[in-house]
Chain A
Amino acid sequence: MTEIHDHSGPPPDDLLAAEYALGVLTGVERAAVERRIAQEAEFAQLVADWEQRLAPWAGEVAEVAPPPAVWETIATKLPAQQQERGGFWQKIAGNWRNFALAAALAAACVGAFFYEGSLHRNPPLVAAIEASGNRSFVATIDTRKNTVTVVPAAFTGDATRVPELWLIPAGGKPIAVGLVDGERTVVLPMPATLMAQAKLGATLAVSLEPPGGSPTGAPTGPVIGAGKLTSL
């Protein structure tokens, strides 16, 4: 590798990968790098190599047990079990879900008791956006900052359309929240009018829309997944 004397231009790929892995880039720069990671296997490998080099440093960070409510929420939001497992398994899975839900509620009570110090004053609302067992995104609403963070899980894009997020109040019509991205985390602002509707039991959904978003203010394309908001 050649020494860099001039840092006015963009750095060569290996240095850019190093900067990303180390974590010194701004949000906008990170977004550009994450797009390249998703699209260029060779560049993605450079980043992975740097992550591998630096990871042992995390050995210095003390382990901290997360509160039980975190696992309980993950468990209640597991996607439906695979279709090929057949009816019996699905029944079991259904029971498991009920059991897990009860366990989560119990844990939430216990958690409130034992983990008061760590509890959110305004717990986030979370929704797993999925259809027929395929989870495309996970969204969390920060009720303090009035933002929604949308992280892709397994969303496969469409060459001509973009994914758009909708908030659907219980019994209401979809309200546009904004465009999301299948390759990277997107944080969208939630104006007061939207926050007022973002309650337990409301649904978040993603539809495929023309670039720039739905021209009508209502979903025009296929809905690729939806999920109800629950609380951590």
Chain B
Amino acid sequence: MDLDANRELIAAALKRVPAGDRAALQTVYRLTSAKLFGVALRILGERGEAEDVLLVLYMTFGRWAADFDSDRARPMTGLIAIARNRAIDRLRASKVSRRMEPIENAAEVADPLPSADQTLAVAQDHVRLHGCLGELAGHERAALRGAFFDGNTYEELAARMNVPLGTMKSWIRRAMIKLKGCLES
């Protein structure tokens, strides 16, 4: 299962979750939990913590499901954001940064995932994002990766890449402005 291979199924099940439909929640869980667990685990680096994130995510998302508008957004996109945000909140609360090894400046752009079961739209989004990440400077890309995948703060990234905090802030802000411009062009 990839990001949105089951978009329609997930969206249909999400509509039934707020009414307390157990089968619908189970469907959403079956189709989404492995990706969300992977995302939380990557940020937290510890299974127990990632299990907690997953548990609370599915126990609290009735209201989110009620507000979710499947015409405007992809369900998996929203769920990934929730999983990342919960994992990062937890990382901040524990005040421990788990990934602090130095980041090399010239981080490679990983190839877009060559997954056969991706829907066309998602594959296109993925390729497009990778194309735009590829246009960034190596150090900018490396900094964004550290933030997105490891949940690092500005301060942690500055330490990992051995630059002043102000430099890291302007790298990332400039990179995000470039990224947005590229994605919207």
Contacts and interface: CB of A to CB of B under 8 A. Distances in A.
Given A27-B92, A133-B20, A153 B55 contact: no
B166 A7 contact: yes
Contact of A140 (B55, B152, B183): B55
Query: B interface, by DSSP: helix, strand, loop or mixed?
Result: helix
A78 B20 contact: yes
Interface stretch (A59-67, A101-109, A162-170, A211-219): A59-67
Nearest to A154: B63
Interface string B110-126: 10110100100010011
A121 B154 CA distance: 32
Contacts of B183: 53
A158 B16 CA distance: 28
Interface string A67-99: 101110111011111100000000000001000
B14 interface: no
Contacts of B153: 24-26
Interface stretch (A15-23, A171-179, A190-198, A200-208): A15-23
Nearest to A62: B38
Nearest to B82: A51
Interface in A135-173: 135, 137-138, 140, 142, 145, 147, 149, 151-154
Nearest to B84: A23
A135 B63 CA distance: 10
Contact of A51 (B51, B81, B170): B81
A35 interface: no
Contacts of B50: 66
A133 B11 CA distance: 23
Interface string B93-123: 1100000000000000010110100100010
B38 A61 contact: yes
Interface in A1-55: 1, 3-4, 7, 11, 14-15, 18-19, 21-27, 30, 48, 51-55
Interface residues of A, number: 71
Interface residues of B, number: 81
Given A60-B110, A153-B59, A185 B86 contact: yes
Contact of B22 (A19, A96, A123): A96
Contacts of A57: 126, 129, 133, 148-149
B38 A7 contact: no
A187 interface: yes
A131 to B, nearest CB: 14
A30 B42 CA distance: 20
A70 B172 contact: no
13 contacts: A4-B174, A22-B144, A23-B147, A53-B183, A63-B35, A66-B51, A70-B54, A71-B26, A74-B29, A78-B22, A124-B52, A151-B60, A185-B86
Interface of B: 1-3, 19-20, 22, 25-26, 29, 33-35, 37-39, 41-43, 47-48, 50-52, 54-56, 58-63, 73-74, 76-78, 80-81, 84-86, 88-90, 92-94, 110, 112-113, 115, 118, 122, 125-126, 128-129, 133, 144, 147-149, 151-155, 157, 166, 169-170, 172-174, 176-177, 179-181, 183
Closest 8 CB pairs of A and B: A27-B92, A63-B34, A51-B81, A153-B60, A55-B77, A187-B93, A120-B48, A56-B126
Interface of A: 1, 3-4, 7, 11, 14-15, 18-19, 21-27, 30, 48, 51-67, 69-71, 73-75, 77-82, 96, 118, 120-121, 123-124, 126, 128, 133, 135, 137-138, 140, 142, 145, 147, 149, 151-154, 185, 187, 232
